Amino acid sequence: MGHYVPHTDAEIAQMLSSLGLSSLDELFETVPEALRLAGGLDLAPGLSEPDTLAAMERLADRNRRAGRDLVCFAGGGAYDHEVPATVRRVAFRSEFVTAYTPYQPEVAQGVLQALFEYQTLLCRLTGMEVANASLYDGASACVEAVNLAVAATGRQTVFLSNGVNPQWREVLHTYAAGTGHQYVACDLAGGLTRWPDAGEPAALLVQYPNYLGCLEDLAAARQLADRTGALLLVAFDPVAAGLLHSPGHFGADVVVGEGQPFGTPLSFGGPYLGMFTCRREHVRRLPGRLVGETVDADGRRAYVTTLRTREQDIRREKASSNVCTNQTLIAVAFAVQLAWLGTSGLRDLALRCARGTRYARDALLTIDGVEPLADAPIFREFAVTSPVPGDVLVERMADDGFLAGIPLGSEYGDRGLLVSVTERRTRDEIDAFVAAFEKVIR
Amino acid sequence: MGHYVPHTDAEIAQMLSSLGLSSLDELFETVPEALRLAGGLDLAPGLSEPDTLAAMERLADRNRRAGRDLVCFAGGGAYDHEVPATVRRVAFRSEFVTAYTPYQPEVAQGVLQALFEYQTLLCRLTGMEVANASLYDGASACVEAVNLAVAATGRQTVFLSNGVNPQWREVLHTYAAGTGHQYVACDLAGGLTRWPDAGEPAALLVQYPNYLGCLEDLAAARQLADRTGALLLVAFDPVAAGLLHSPGHFGADVVVGEGQPFGTPLSFGGPYLGMFTCRREHVRRLPGRLVGETVDADGRRAYVTTLRTREQDIRREKASSNVCTNQTLIAVAFAVQLAWLGTSGLRDLALRCARGTRYARDALLTIDGVEPLADAPIFREFAVTSPVPGDVLVERMADDGFLAGIPLGSEYGDRGLLVSVTERRTRDEIDAFVAAFEKVIR
Amino acid sequence: MPAAAGGRASSAPIMGHDNEPTIFELSARGRTAASFRTTGVPEWDAEELVPSPHLRDEPAAIAEISERDLVAHFTRLTHRQYSVDLGAYPLGSCTMKYNPKLCDDAASLPGLTDVHPAAPAALTQGWMELLAELEQALCSITGMHAATLQPPAGAAGELTGLLLMRAWHAEHGGQRHKVVIPDSAHGTNPASVTLGGYETVTVPSDDRGLVDVAALRERLDDDVAGIMLTNPNTLGLFEEDIAEIAGAVHEVGGLLYYDGANLNAILGVTRPGDMGFDIVHMNLHKTFAVPHGGGGPGAGPVAVSERLAPYLPGPRPVLGDDGVYRWEQPAQSIGRVHSWHGNALALARAYSYILANGGDGLRRVAEAAVLNANWLRTRLRGIYDLPYDRPAMHEFVASTSALKKAKGLRALDVAKRLLEEGFHAPTVYFPLIVDEALMIEPTETESPQTLEALGDALERIAAGDAEDARHAPRTTPVGRVDEARAARQLIPTWDARE
Amino acid sequence: MPAAAGGRASSAPIMGHDNEPTIFELSARGRTAASFRTTGVPEWDAEELVPSPHLRDEPAAIAEISERDLVAHFTRLTHRQYSVDLGAYPLGSCTMKYNPKLCDDAASLPGLTDVHPAAPAALTQGWMELLAELEQALCSITGMHAATLQPPAGAAGELTGLLLMRAWHAEHGGQRHKVVIPDSAHGTNPASVTLGGYETVTVPSDDRGLVDVAALRERLDDDVAGIMLTNPNTLGLFEEDIAEIAGAVHEVGGLLYYDGANLNAILGVTRPGDMGFDIVHMNLHKTFAVPHGGGGPGAGPVAVSERLAPYLPGPRPVLGDDGVYRWEQPAQSIGRVHSWHGNALALARAYSYILANGGDGLRRVAEAAVLNANWLRTRLRGIYDLPYDRPAMHEFVASTSALKKAKGLRALDVAKRLLEEGFHAPTVYFPLIVDEALMIEPTETESPQTLEALGDALERIAAGDAEDARHAPRTTPVGRVDEARAARQLIPTWDARE
Ligand SMILES: Cc1ncc(COP(=O)(O)O)c(C=O)c1O
Ligand SMILES: Cc1ncc(COP(=O)(O)O)c(C=O)c1O
């Protein structure tokens, strides 16, 4: 009971008497009698630590693990990349893990400098000038990008590509109920977004590569944005930075995305990392924390969270965002993983993903009945259709030890399956995957 | 190739030229041509990190794990105790792990203070006045105890109880080939040592509890030591300190033992921890490192390795021992685990071991054909005989998911099995164990 | 040879006070620590894989650093960082309690970390059971009917709650436009109100530090969607009139939102549901020992009363009669608020913490938290101002306003001096209604000995020289940081430096 | 309330330079962090379990401390500790290379850690394969025939080797009494010689810093059991006459023992076996990246030539024709030298390091180690004395003897000043044959940038004020430590203080 309360009974008695109290209940005298919980919480009594761990292990054993139980070909915003020992053992040192948001910079230079390095790395990946210290996930990063665009343009409508992760679009619509933003859904043709050729949008939001893995034409999107006076918002896969031009190269105004691919295991979907970067002109509308370099009293280089007046604790109802606690630790892991890769490693990683994807796609398409869902060029993920609905396919292939991919919703035409191949997949695994696929759809 | 060499080719070229060399081979010009290894090492080329880990996992999967694959009832100097998350995550922080022996105390206060606390805790467990900073294992601690006794008394002969761990006795005999020490083997009767009633031994070496789990009569041993002018050397199970009088209480001169039970997993036998403590009068014969408290230039409390003149690097051929690198990190884990237990936790742990042992022993002895090998009182381990030889018994019970114990050598009479029960064993596990035991000997 | 600072422990204050260079300064062309699995996949060139309009010629420039230098760099950074694992962290409103190592183990079980969030339910029954059981437990603790675990932090929980309010009113008498919050509220409250599409109406606190009920009644009408309260409030005081407040708000058809940041104070003692709240968010990274990670990740689940359950975000894990968990979308769900299922590993941590404590343990948590706060409050009496010197809950607010008048000792300087004394600082200048506020929350995991040491340090500081305090801290990795300059000459990245 | 220092980060230099209290000072009666599995075993009283003459009335007194304070205490201690993970550690003869995190993972696989050493071979085939393969690999690296992995450290390996010598001579012409070692040898060599039952005969080094072969010949006779050499020797110089030395020793029927502490210099370049050595020990905690752990655990396997194989300690894992590993005792084994099978997890680490490097990688290790040492040696030329300024291997010895004459700058003061510069110090005053010795071993894992920074620091120190250096270090957790007092007024435990 209360393993983590250090007080001995003697100490409690002493402290109570120093307060002139005779029982712990008297501590709560300001809680009206009527509201006091009689009989305590309706929860089981506390377990010992080994018993607790055993209970958690029982639950963990009820999941089929990627790697040991299932060879993972699922992506869709959550990728089975290697997280090396170095990253795990350094990024999760307890000083990083058990610190609060760096409110006292003099004793938080560790977190602050790591974030400053994260911001720099993220800008280099995306080709942007400013990055914040993280948002919750890919979806919330999209939401904040739209909020920024609406505030910057004074317009309410956003052209939203159907190539954007459907779950992120769901979240955008959920939050629109509060902000009143309007979304114009833009269909895909051949895997690429067909934009309306006119209108007065606050922004275009497109994903690169998009949910089907296809490489959108960002140059065209930029032109439309220029024509309509809209901002170009791009959701970007950071792994793509190893091979593809950055969205900044194509003139994006805001680049967001899901940072999970660097340093974070699949984790059943969280905690992940919302990447947020933009051009410097928008810095005063930046959501969340921003770390800047400065000096201390002796002129030594130091880091501190800055432009704080944007934030909720100071600007309150007029704040650029309500975000307070973010995903700092995941951002630190992202920075460590990226530094571990280095320039050549990043390219190598992207190449390996692209090669495995090409190899798997070519092989799958030799199976008759399997057709590409889109023919636009891809990078590390692709969609196919087959005689068997995606969900059935996934369930069946699980018996053969594969997580075959992600079933696609009807908006992409039925029977679709989204397949992703990371640097971890071997040729043998892919061959076995293709064989099982063929067997299952027979 | 050479993952851990940071130099780029360009840097190597630059450094070579600054040395006036044109190839790496020229670095080895002082190695006679004839001795140069042509064709390189006869080893496979380097593996990538993930491939290396996969190779290690393949090996790990070829072992049957205690806990997951086998319920462990084996002891004999290696016990299946809980090592809590707290201990693992604190004792193995990289500052402790990647430091060298504290030669520069100004930047090694972390290791030094942890060792000072370890020494104090160990003295409290054993009832002694001085402890060193660790030796290799239980066996080497016994060797050093005998070396000390021989040096202290000028005598060569040691009364060695057959109740001492047989492997430790083997090591004693191995090293005696160099030192010329003589051992008089002292048989057990009813599980307790029968000492010669006269002689001029340098020391008596007895284990408490002994290898069969029995509680030796240390008072009697002390009397004999007094009569013969010998030192009393006791190998002690640190867990016993929770319930049993310390060897110091009975007047031991040197107390040694195997420290694995606190903070170290089974680990296939190592790294473990050689505990070494003695009375203060012997401190100048203490083997290995000793940490002492002192002050720094400003008078602040500080710690440092001391009485260094005993040691090999200064005293060379006249050193009290040749030990240099010891088992410091394991000693730190020992201290953390012991502090985690605390006074009440230590007693609780000992009680739980004793209760499980009593419960298992009583149950096994109800099986007919199963007899106690010794009738002396026990603490956390016991020996039985059965119709089936110990080794056969162990092999068979492995199929039922048990590591049944340790087969006893012929010196203890044949068909013996040594069984140990730790705080981790549940009543259900013990009941299943007993049932399997009964089935197997039918 | 590229200039790089080399491997000295230049940052570790263990050896002097030099700066730690950035990874960019440590970078040397051509280096990498990366190592990949051998796959046997054909090694096509980039050009064969990516069409030229998309293919970049140069890879994005990252730091190029050896594993050895990488490890040293970040390890040295950790030596420039204070944390709960180093000492007390009495940061008001943040509940910086000790995070049990047990929960680290629980949250790193491969059976939890190596699961794809899109894997079908049949393959993730363990996770779904964990989440469903956690929803359950949180409902018991808060006295609510159903919950969503999707919100990744408190602020996200707030916005989710406000969207639930909208959805409710839309179907019950039409939309309303105002949300009432006290002047002592946390900044995320008004910020969320705005994002929820509402207008903030502020209600003042009375001289007790509690919501001024009369003033509240004046502000209540049928355009008020609801009220957001923290109870105990940010002064650490229990809103004693909560029943009356709830009645008044409900009377005008409004809903009550409970900001659970201070839930630690009342675990097992009283429940928001019993107080009349309709919507509750919890900060698992405060109350349930999810470590703060230097600013996240956390988790901000939202629990609601029965009438609001149909509007919860989805999908939610639901146990069928066949003993199998399935994902279900609540009938009138407002939709997703997270890409997947929320900060799952943080949720697993919190669940393991709840299992280990149990009902009895959680109440003991609240008791010790409140005991510690009140002991320290009385310890500081006569040393600092206590603007609301009444029985507090888990935290209390002191002030240096008199000390400032007397000798110019500001809350900020007390905070910086406390760093020199080896403690983290309290929260300062919040809540806004207190002049020179020091908001102190010891939490239940600090021992009486720690409280004594903290009290002694605060007393020394109050008695000390104010001018001297303005130059604190001096024993930290860097001295007082120039925050103004950071904003004036913004340097947001390494590449932005001249 | 018991006096305990409380939870301030009192030790962490991150916040000032106070001492960290001992756990005994943090202890408060009645506290514990312990938590046990629920077993359902009957709860007999102590009296029912242990007869009274053995039963203690009071449990042994341990520190009584909460998990929170326990974690904070030891975490703070790590902030008072330098380590390889914080920076360069050019400690001569210790090969303080970076320890790959990969090997941490490898050595913590549950399939390796959770195996009882007495489990029958049928249940531990993975471990036995690992050990057998490691023996193999070490033999290839050293050019020997067979090996034992039992010795837990280098010194234990030395003694094992000397006992092998004894066993050999006992059966070949009878016992001998002398073992020759150079005056530059490490202290464990003579200490082991004594424990091996031999008498040490010292052979001087010549002006090249190498064994004086003529002097050696004078000392060789048929009472010489063998010679112990380190090659490269402790000056970092390769014993160029090793072939002649081997011939001379073998001529008188002696054996050659190779102290492998410096093996890092010659990996893949040359092998002790090819030099004529009969017995070789390796320090896996030097050459093969097993971390030092603040003073161990390490591993000191011993490899031998074919004629000595039958005498090796046992049991050894041997692969049968049926593909199954069994434990076998060598025919004339000297017996066990370890309780079990040696420091198994350290052996697993080393094996993973060898796998990751491979033959090519290991040679690269030696090349970079030697390159680094020679670059730094030339960098210091003209700044420090280089008593043996010739091509070095993985380390070299400098000296402050001239600087001492000139201005009183001692090796010790250079070491302490270097701490202030953020580097660990070199080994000082060893080998004994060099006055004011600074023994510098950069290792291969330090980058050229690190070497430059180290060289610059050493140059600054040599140019600096010697009197000032006597007061170094000042920026460390504690200042210069009074070692004399520690010995004079011995305080070996907390309980020994007055
Ligand atoms: C009173 C109060 N409300 C809301 C929040 C916001 O929670 P979060 O930081 O998790 O978004 C906080 C946390 O700082 C708080 O203290
Ligand atoms: C040259 C030399 N020989 C022998 C040893 C002893 O090795 P260990 O410390 O592993 O016992 C050392 C290590 O300090 C050494 O440097």
pLDDT tens digits, B290-299: 999 999 999 9
Ligand 2 pocket, D261 CB below 6 A? yes
- State pTM to two decimals: 0.97
Which ligand 2 atom sits nearest the alpha carbon of residue D234? 1
CA of C281 to the centre of ligand 1 (A): 10
Ligand 1 lining (C-beta closer than 6 Å)? A 324-325; C 93, 153-155, 186, 188, 230, 234, 259, 261, 283, 298, 300
Q: In whole angstroms, what is the distance from residue D411 CA to residue B288 CA? A: 25
Contact present, D20 and D77 (Cβ < 8 Å): yes
Across all residues in chain A, what is the average pLDDT? Answer: 96
B88 in contact with chain A, both atoms CB, cutoff 8 A: no
Q: Quick one: how many helices (H) and strands (E) in chain C?
A: 17, 12
Residue D6 has pLDDT above 70, yes or no: no
Mean pLDDT of all residues in B120-146: 98
Q: What is the pLDDT of residues A4-55, one digit of tens each?
A: 999 999 999 999 999 999 999 999 999 999 999 998 999 999 999 999 999 9
The pick from D95, D186, D287, D441 for probing ligand 2's pocket by mutation, whose C-beta has the most ligand atoms within 8 angstroms, reads D186
Contact present, A324 and C154 (Cβ < 8 Å): yes
Query: Judging by DSSP bridges, how do beta strands A254-258 and A231-236 pair with one another?
Result: parallel
Q: Residue B316: what pLDDT?
A: 87
Which ligand 2 atom sits nearest the alpha carbon of residue D157? 11
Q: Residue C11: what pLDDT?
A: 41
* Interface contact flag, C113 A266, Cβ < 8 Å: yes
**Chain A residues touching residue B53 (CB < 8 angstroms):** 85
Across all residues in chain B, what is the average pLDDT? Answer: 96
Q: Name the residue among B419, B426, B81, B245 with its Cα closest to residue D50.
A: B245
Show the DSSP H helices in D288-333 as ranges: none
Peptide bond into D310 cis (omega under 30): no
A85 in contact with chain B, both atoms CB, cutoff 8 A: yes
Q: Residue D59: what pLDDT?
A: 85
- Give the CA distances from residue C385 to residues C408, C419, C437, in Å, rounded to whole numbers and listed in that order: 14, 21, 9
**Chain A residues touching residue B71 (CB < 8 angstroms):** none
**Chain C residues touching residue A102 (CB < 8 angstroms):** 294-295
Minimal C-alpha gap between D402 and chain C (Å) = 27
C41 in contact with chain B, both atoms CB, cutoff 8 A: no
Say which of B45, B175, B306 has its CB closest to residue D358.
Answer: B45
Name the one residue in this structure whose structure tokens are 């079933």: A407
Ligand 2, atom 5, lies closest to the CA of D154
**Chain D residues touching residue A51 (CB < 8 angstroms):** 37-38
Q: In whole angstroms, what is the distance from residue C97 CA to residue C365 CA? A: 10
Mean pLDDT of all residues in B65-81: 97
Question: For residue B79, which phi and psi values (nearest 5 degrees)?
Answer: -120, 145
* Interface contact flag, D296 B329, Cβ < 8 Å: yes
Nearest CA in chain C to D357: C35
CA of B180 to the centre of ligand 1 (A): 73
Q: Structure tokens of B261?
A: 């039970």
Q: In whole angstroms, what is the distance from residue B395 CA to residue B157 CA? A: 40
3-class state of residue D487 by DSSP:
helix
**Chain A residues touching residue C335 (CB < 8 angstroms):** 170-171, 173-174
C59 in contact with chain B, both atoms CB, cutoff 8 A: no
**Chain A residues touching residue B84 (CB < 8 angstroms):** 49
Q: Residue B198: what pLDDT?
A: 87
* Interface contact flag, C4 D447, Cβ < 8 Å: yes
CA of B57 to the centre of ligand 2 (A): 31
Q: Structure tokens of D425?
A: 């110090």
Q: Which residues pair with B20 in a beta bridge?
A: none
ipTM of this complex:
0.97
* Interface contact flag, B49 A85, Cβ < 8 Å: yes
Which ligand 2 atom sits nearest the alpha carbon of residue D155? 11
* Interface contact flag, D449 C26, Cβ < 8 Å: yes
Which ligand 1 atom sits nearest the alpha carbon of residue C262? 1
Q: In whole angstroms, what is the distance from residue B261 CA to residue C273 CA? A: 49
The pick from B323, B325, B327 for probing ligand 2's pocket by mutation, whose C-beta has the most ligand atoms within 8 angstroms, reads B325
Q: What is the pLDDT of residues C367-409, one digit of tens each?
A: 999 999 999 999 999 999 999 999 999 999 999 999 999 999 9
Q: In whole angstroms, what is the distance from residue D449 CA to residue D446 CA? A: 8
Q: Structure tokens of D20?
A: 């960290």
Which residue of C8, C10, C14, C65 is the best one to mutate when testing the B interface, meaning the one whose CB has the most B CBs within 10 A? Answer: C14
Ligand 1, atom 10, lies closest to the CA of C154
CA of B404 to the centre of ligand 1 (A): 54
Ligand 1, atom 12, lies closest to the CA of C261
Q: Name the residue among A140, A255, A277 with its Cα closest to residue A208.
A: A255
Q: How many A-C residue pairs are in contact by the CB < 8 A criterion?
A: 738
* Interface contact flag, D335 B170, Cβ < 8 Å: yes
Q: Residue D18: what pLDDT?
A: 73
Q: Residue B315: what pLDDT?
A: 86
Minimal C-alpha gap between D182 and chain C (Å) = 35
Contact present, C188 and C215 (Cβ < 8 Å): no
Nearest CA in chain D to B139: D339
Residue D216 has pLDDT above 90, yes or no: yes
* Interface contact flag, B49 A84, Cβ < 8 Å: yes
Q: In whole angstroms, what is the distance from residue C260 CA to residue C239 CA? A: 14
* Interface contact flag, A430 C41, Cβ < 8 Å: yes
Residue D11 has pLDDT above 90, yes or no: no
Ligand 2 pocket, D93 CB below 6 A? yes
Q: Residue C132: what pLDDT?
A: 98
Q: In whole angstroms, what is the distance from residue D409 CA to residue D389 CA? A: 21
Say which of A2, A258, A377 has its CB closest to residue C361.
Answer: A2
Show the DSSP H helices in C260-410 as ranges: 272-275, 344-380, 401-407
Say which of D23, D56, D269 has its CB closest to residue B28.
Answer: D269
Which residue of C14, C66, C109, C420 is the best one to mutate when testing the D interface, meaning the one whose CB has the most D CBs within 10 A? Answer: C14
Which ligand 1 atom sits nearest the alpha carbon of residue C230? 1
Say which of C78, C336, C446 has its CB closest to residue A110.
Answer: C78
Q: Structure tokens of C337?
A: 């608020």
Say which of D111, D195, D473 has its CB closest to residue B322.
Answer: D195
- HSE-CB at C459 with a 13 A cutoff on CA atoms is 13
Ligand showing the shortest atom-to-Cα distance for residue C230: 1
Say which of A68, A175, A379 has its CB closest to residue C50.
Answer: A379
Which ligand 1 atom sits nearest the alpha carbon of residue A322? 11
**Chain C residues touching residue A5 (CB < 8 angstroms):** 361, 364-365, 368, 444-445
Residue D12 has pLDDT above 70, yes or no: no
Task: Output the tens digit of pLDDT for each of chain C's 498 residues.
Answer: 444 555 555 444 555 567 899 999 999 999 999 999 999 999 999 999 999 999 999 888 999 999 999 999 999 999 999 999 999 999 999 999 999 999 999 999 999 999 999 999 999 999 999 999 999 999 999 999 999 999 999 999 999 999 999 999 999 999 999 999 999 999 999 999 999 999 999 999 999 999 999 999 999 999 999 999 999 999 999 999 999 999 999 999 999 999 999 999 999 999 999 999 999 999 999 999 999 999 999 999 999 999 999 999 999 999 999 999 999 999 999 999 999 999 999 999 999 999 999 999 999 999 999 999 999 999 999 999 999 999 999 999 999 999 999 999 999 999 999 999 889 999 999 999 999 999 999 999 999 999 999 999 999 999 999 999 999 999 888 999 999 999 999 999 999 997
- Backbone dihedral region of A342: left (phi > 0), alpha (psi from -120 to 50 degrees) or beta? left
Residue D429 has pLDDT above 90, yes or no: yes
Least confident segment among A309-323, B222-236, D137-151, D161-175: A309-323
Q: Structure tokens of B141?
A: 């601690």
Q: In whole angstroms, what is the distance from residue B74 CA to residue B80 CA? A: 8
- Rounded to a whole number of angstroms, the distance between the first and last alpha carbons of chain A is 57
pLDDT category at D17 given cuts 50, 70, 90 is low
D16 in contact with chain A, both atoms CB, cutoff 8 A: no
Ligand 2 pocket, D234 CB below 6 A? yes
Q: Structure tokens of D121?
A: 């071979």
